[in-house]
Amino acid sequence: MKSMAYMNAKILKAWTARGLLMAALACCAAYGVRAQEGGNDEARLRAYEANLLSADPSAARTFLEDAALIDRLKLSAPRKAAGLVAKARALCDLEALLAKPWRDEQEPELSRSLALRIDFNTPLEKAGIGAAPEQLLPWMAKYGKYSVRKTELVKRAIRQFEVVFSSGGSAAPEVKANWEKTTIRERNNFLAEKAFRVLERMINEEPRTDRAFQDEVRRNERFKYLDPAGRGRYERYLTQLAAAETVKAGLPAGRLEGIRNQPIEQQMYLLGDLFDKSDVHGAVSLERKLDGARASRPGETISFQNNRLLSDMLRTALPAEIKDTAAGDKVVFYYNSGAKLDIAIESCRNCYAKYEPSTGRIILDSDMIQQYLRVNNITTEELLKDQAQLAALAKYVSPMFVHEASHQIQHAWADEAGLYKPYTQEDEIESNSLEALYTAEKLRNDVKFRDLFAGMRRASVYADQRLKLSQRFNKGPGDFSENVRRLYYAGLPSFDAASAQILSAVSSELERRETLGAEERREIEKNGASLKDVLKLTLPELTGSVAGIKTQFLKKIQGDLLDKAVYADRYEGIAAWSGTMLNNIRGAKPVKPSVVPAL
Amino acid sequence: MLKLLLALVFLGGCAYADDPHTAAAAKKAAPGGSAVSADRFSCVPPAGWEVTRDRAKEGKTRIQKLELAGPGADKAPVLIYAAFYGAGNTSFAGYEDFIERNSKNILGETVSETEKFSPVKKITLSGKKAFKFDSEIKEYLHPESKSEESVVIKEDFYVVPAGDGFFVLHYYSPASAFKKHLPVFKKFVAACKLR
């Protein structure tokens, strides 16, 4: 037995030794491979760097696909990894942006998209595209097979001198030279301001409202340069002109004395007065159209006191309204988990609602609510006293509430994970999907909601837009993300574009920091911004203030954004969830619409 | 000797296990399982039209889709889509579901102030049972804002059921350019081979 045990021990020892030897050899081989990889890495990196320096987008794609190399580089030289990834992501993003089938009248959106990417201190500038916008054209000619139409569209979008000033030939050479030193952003600001001045003059002075004049306003090329806020005012002006003209056509000439020579806002007030005196026998829909298009009179605005009361009441009514829907329950669960819901009613300018991360408030547009009250002939006082009326208003604003609450949830997710999350198209894809899903479910299962929107869509663009958004989602959930990117939020950066800009700014700053003296570095580490403050910064604020952020937080942001999967998993998960939920909801039997709309 | 070997094994093993590349590659290689293995149709794009196809998305959605963008038109693009929706795709339960959701507005109406949907007709397309319908819809150009600027879009749909999914041939155009490019779409439909 002893000899047997001895033999076994010997065999075991021999096997163990052999096993360990084999394992050691395998390890040595692995080391050898890694050493070889190291050698290959250097050669590959040099090639990538050279290609990225010439802004070659196919090299950028190949580099980003080389995940093994990037992962090794992240460990050995994180700053270099961040710089190269930023440049590569920015090039791929630019290529993808220009590959989209932009239509001619999307010139303002394309211009805003390019302005975000081609500017000072962006990764594209480091790749030699910008900040002078004209540098984009030779890059397009070298690397893309772009049609003549698209190249011409890009020339208009970057506000090329010859395109903007068609009489540019006679301009002094220094005017053109100075123009070409400006960025797209600066050119757009300049042109938008000039266009708005013309629009303002028309609104304040011009009494004409006829069809010929409306066409003249529509054809005015200058107005394509208006910024989104100016564009909103321009659209409202057109609506007012059309509404005033329609109403005036139904009135005897004698009633128009004292009205027709007034600027548009005064005409709208005076025409509204005629309806209120009830001796004008027009269709109810005409009055609703006029009420929808005009501004509120002093008595129709929401007083400070009533505003506070209404905001408080909506804070209770909105969660109750959205619960028992797939998207709504997600939001309600979030607030029931201890998150604060703070509703405010304020002017939102060219939007219907917004989430304000700095204050944590969801702001509902006061104009939208006042329009609702005007169209439905309700005063704020009546609304506050009548639970049914308040519930109807909660229904009306609930799709936007779901949308903005989802933005609040996005911020909470990033805060909880301690991540910096730039505001990107992906956020809007998520929020719009949730809003569209919510609207689709409510239209299917809540008769009052359905009748409210069916009635309001004729007088309110807000109501019609909510229906159209949900319809687009319902028609093709698979295409919805691309629609949101291309049609709705072309002026927002994609996650790739935003992360590329941040990585580029951060890696440049870390490089600069190494050249600083010890005293300067100590100063930054002592007084630099804290992580809590940094996480609240917007994209331009962050890229513009990297010099004042502590090194450890810059490195943290760099590390977070290099690991794209953390963000991508969340975005893809939510979009897929909304599509699946829509199918689940559609599986249920719909309610029958009532015969007469409630309004 | 054994101690030396053990030390080598542990050191080497730890170093390799920590390689982030290994983890990342494993995650990336996780089976999607939903990729459509082969193209189900072949179509001839009209000359001068830009063709785009997102193969990465196709794998995730089980929807093969070609987008063909035509010449620029008034306020909206002129587009042709050719698509195959595989069984278990992420968007539609089947061809009936596609037709139901695209031949009515979100309120279930076929006529409203700003929309018009034709009845769905049964037809034969290249010897296959198919359905045809069209629509005319007012679309907002800047739906993210308060802008009322809009364009009327006309669309034509051909839906062809298949054993393991269905095909959709779809023409999308602003009303002002619809007639001009309709012959291009008809020629495209006639030449498409659906497998």
| Residue B113 at interface with chain A, using a CB cutoff of 8 Å | yes
pLDDT at position B160 is 97
**A15-24, A335-344, A550-559, B88-97 — which is least confidently predicted?**
A15-24
A chain contacts of residue B21, beta-carbon cutoff 8 Å: 67-68, 71-72
| Nearest by CB: A103 against B27, B76, B147 | B76
Closest CA to B84 of B156, B158, B134: B158
Task: Measure in Å the smallest separation between the Cα of B164 and chain A Cα atoms.
Answer: 19
Task: Measure in Å the smallest separation between the Cα of A536 and chain B Cα atoms.
Answer: 24
Average pLDDT value for chain A: 84
Question: What is the rounded CA–CA span in Å between residue B107 and residue B114?
Answer: 13
pLDDT at position A39 is 58
Asked whether residue A6 carries a pLDDT value surpassing 60, the answer given is no
Task: Measure in Å the smallest separation between the Cα of A503 and chain B Cα atoms.
Answer: 20
Confidence band, pLDDT 50/70/90 cuts, at residue A184: very high
A chain contacts of residue B145, beta-carbon cutoff 8 Å: 228, 231-232, 350-351
Q: Specify whether the CB–CB gap between A119 and A131 falls below 8 A.
A: yes
Please identify among residues 121-180 of chain B the ones whose CB lies closer than 8 Å to any CB of chain A.
139-149
Asked whether residue B104 carries a pLDDT value surpassing 90, the answer given is yes
Mean pLDDT of A37-56: 82
Higher pLDDT, B3 or A265: A265
Task: Measure in Å the smallest separation between the Cα of A428 and chain B Cα atoms.
Answer: 10
pLDDT at position B59 is 79
Confidence band, pLDDT 50/70/90 cuts, at residue A579: confident
pTM as predicted: 0.73
Interface with A, mutate which of B75, B144, B151, B172 (most A CBs under 10 A): B144
Asked whether residue A7 carries a pLDDT value surpassing 60, the answer given is no
Closest CA to A223 of A343, A89, A304, A108: A108
Mean pLDDT of A115-126: 89
Higher pLDDT, A535 or A300: A535
A chain contacts of residue B2, beta-carbon cutoff 8 Å: 16-17, 20
Interchain contact, A101 vs B77, CB within 8 Å: yes
| Residue A583 at interface with chain B, using a CB cutoff of 8 Å | yes
Asked whether residue A516 carries a pLDDT value surpassing 70, the answer given is yes
Interchain contact, B105 vs A471, CB within 8 Å: yes
Q: Which pair of tokens denotes residue A361?
A: 């408030």
**A17-31, A47-61, A288-302 — which is least confidently predicted?**
A17-31
Mean pLDDT of A354-361: 91
pLDDT at position B5 is 34
Closest CA to A65 of A87, A93, A85: A85
Please give the angle made by the CA atoms of A325, A329 and A331, to the nearest 5 degrees.
125
Q: Specify whether the CB–CB gap between A198 and A192 falls below 8 A.
A: no
Asked whether residue A18 carries a pLDDT value surpassing 60, the answer given is no
Higher pLDDT, A518 or A10: A518
pLDDT at position A285 is 62
The single-letter DSSP state of residue B120 is P
pLDDT at position B10 is 32
| Residue A50 at interface with chain B, using a CB cutoff of 8 Å | no
**A180-184, B26-30, B46-50 — which is least confidently predicted?**
B26-30
Q: What residues have CB less than 8 Å from A461, skipping those under 6 apart?
A: B140, B146, B148
Please return the burial class of B169, using the count of CB atoms within 10 Å of its CB with bins 0-12, 13-18 and 19+. Answer: buried
pLDDT at position A299 is 67
Task: Count chain A–chain B contacts defined by CB atoms under 8 A.
Answer: 151
Q: Specify whether the CB–CB gap between A37 and A44 falls below 8 A.
A: no
The total of other beta-carbon atoms located within 10 Å of residue A283's CB is 9
Task: Measure in Å the smallest separation between the Cα of A116 and chain B Cα atoms.
Answer: 18
Residue-wise pLDDT tens digits, A395-447: 999 999 999 999 999 999 998 988 999 999 999 999 999 999 999 999 999 99
Interchain contact, A586 vs B97, CB within 8 Å: yes
Interchain contact, B21 vs A72, CB within 8 Å: yes
Question: What is the rounded CA–CA span in Å between residue A422 and residue A542?
Answer: 9
| Residue B63 at interface with chain A, using a CB cutoff of 8 Å | yes
Asked whether residue A21 carries a pLDDT value surpassing 70, the answer given is no
Asked whether residue A22 carries a pLDDT value surpassing 90, the answer given is no
Question: What is the rounded CA–CA span in Å between residue A5 and residue A379?
Answer: 99
B chain contacts of residue A27, beta-carbon cutoff 8 Å: 8-9, 11-13, 16
B chain contacts of residue A443, beta-carbon cutoff 8 Å: 106-107
**A160-164, A320-324, A522-526, A562-566 — which is least confidently predicted?**
A562-566
B chain contacts of residue A475, beta-carbon cutoff 8 Å: 101-102
Q: Residue A521: which H helix or E strand, with range?
A: helix A518-527
| Residue A407 at interface with chain B, using a CB cutoff of 8 Å | no
Confidence band, pLDDT 50/70/90 cuts, at residue A323: very high
pLDDT at position A597 is 32
Asked whether residue B167 carries a pLDDT value surpassing 60, the answer given is yes
| Residue A568 at interface with chain B, using a CB cutoff of 8 Å | no
- Lookup result for tokens 């002017």: A347
Mean pLDDT of A260-279: 76
Q: Specify whether the CB–CB gap between A114 and A103 falls below 8 A.
A: no
Asked whether residue A595 carries a pLDDT value surpassing 90, the answer given is no
Confidence band, pLDDT 50/70/90 cuts, at residue B90: confident
Q: Specify whether the CB–CB gap between B60 and A137 falls below 8 A.
A: no
Alpha helix ranges (H) inside A144-183: 148-157, 161-164, 173-179
Higher pLDDT, A486 or B138: B138
pLDDT at position B22 is 25
Whether complex ipTM tops 0.85: no
Tell me phi and psi for residue A337, to 5 degrees: -85, 15
pLDDT at position A17 is 46
Task: Measure in Å the smallest separation between the Cα of A104 and chain B Cα atoms.
Answer: 6
| Nearest by CB: B143 against A457, A465, A565 | A465
| Residue A231 at interface with chain B, using a CB cutoff of 8 Å | yes
A chain contacts of residue B28, beta-carbon cutoff 8 Å: 67
If you measure CA to CA, which chain B residue comes closest to A466?
B143
Residue-wise pLDDT tens digits, A279-303: 444 455 666 667 777 777 666 777 8
Question: What is the rounded CA–CA span in Å between residue B85 and residue B94?
Answer: 8
Question: What is the rounded CA–CA span in Å between residue B138 and residue B115?
Answer: 6
Alpha helix ranges (H) inside A100-210: 107-117, 123-126, 136-143, 148-157, 161-164, 173-179, 184-205
B chain contacts of residue A236, beta-carbon cutoff 8 Å: 146, 148
The total of other beta-carbon atoms located within 10 Å of residue A347's CB is 11
Question: What is the rounded CA–CA span in Å between residue A65 and residue A425?
Answer: 23
pLDDT at position A166 is 75
| Residue A512 at interface with chain B, using a CB cutoff of 8 Å | no
Average pLDDT value for chain B: 78
- CA Rg value for chain A: 30
SS3 at position A299: helix
State whether CATH 3.40.1000.10 applies to domain B2-194: yes
| Residue A148 at interface with chain B, using a CB cutoff of 8 Å | no
pLDDT at position A297 is 67
Residue-wise pLDDT tens digits, B33-85: 322 233 788 888 888 887 888 777 787 888 998 888 887 666 778 889 999 99
- Lookup result for tokens 């049914």: A388
A chain contacts of residue B84, beta-carbon cutoff 8 Å: none
Asked whether residue A9 carries a pLDDT value surpassing 60, the answer given is no
If you measure CA to CA, which chain A residue comes closest to B173?
A103
pLDDT at position B17 is 27
The single-letter DSSP state of residue A1 is -
Asked whether residue A32 carries a pLDDT value surpassing 70, the answer given is no
Residue-wise pLDDT tens digits, A208-226: 999 999 999 989 989 989 9
- Lookup result for tokens 């604020």: A541
Residue-wise pLDDT tens digits, B144-162: 788 877 889 999 999 999 9
Question: What is the rounded CA–CA span in Å between residue B124 and residue A199?
Answer: 54
Confidence band, pLDDT 50/70/90 cuts, at residue A152: very high
Asked whether residue A368 carries a pLDDT value surpassing 70, the answer given is yes
Mean pLDDT of B107-134: 95
